[in-house]
Amino acid sequence: MLGCDLVTADISATMTKTVRESGIPFVLCDLRYLPFRTGQFDFVICGAVLQHLKRSEMNSAVSELSRVSQRSLILMPNPIGPASLFGLIPLVVNLTFLKNRESLSEGISCPRGYLVSFYLPWTFGRFLKTHFQNISVKPAMKSIAPHEYLTDRIL
């Protein structure tokens, strides 16, 4: 991008090998405790990350995004959108992998070994309003988010 500085951050050095090899500055850190100054960034993009946090960790993560950035773009899968077969995939995952009903409050372990918390767009939008002054929920367009995992919703 012309006229801007770019910094990437992730909790996993393994998952970011391509980014690090490209020479883009990389910071290994936890989203819940970002090592950046308040307001340090004009814009932060958080893409398909928050659904992998336990529900009890969401508040601190979104609070950190709000703290370090002037504006944020949060890409979040829509569990009832077309890419999730209108709720069929989350339903099957819930029924298949939910061994203990109490764990639903923290998320669901999935076949790939990571946690997934399903958030309905309107409830997640209300949650974001507790951290950001203005939010808008917009459907993703294929030209913006072609990967089906991002489904059809940008928050």
CA distance 145 to 155: 12
Range of the domain at 134: 8-150
Per-residue model confidence as pLDDT tens digits over 92-147: 877 776 655 555 556 666 655 567 778 888 888 888 999 988 888 776 655 444 44
Residue 80 pLDDT class (50, 70, 90 cuts): confident
Distant-in-sequence contacts of 1-6, Cβ < 8 A, 24+ apart: 4/42
Domain count, the chain: 1
Per-residue model confidence as pLDDT tens digits over 45-78: 998 888 888 888 999 999 999 999 999 988 888 7
On whether residue 127 sits in a domain, the answer given is yes
On whether residue 3 sits in a domain, the answer given is no
Confidence (pLDDT) at 108: 63
pTM score, two decimals?
Answer: 0.76
On whether residue 2 sits in a domain, the answer given is no
On whether residue 1 sits in a domain, the answer given is no
CA distance 82 to 45: 23
On whether residue 155 sits in a domain, the answer given is no
Give phi and psi for 109, each to the nearest 5. Answer: -75, 135
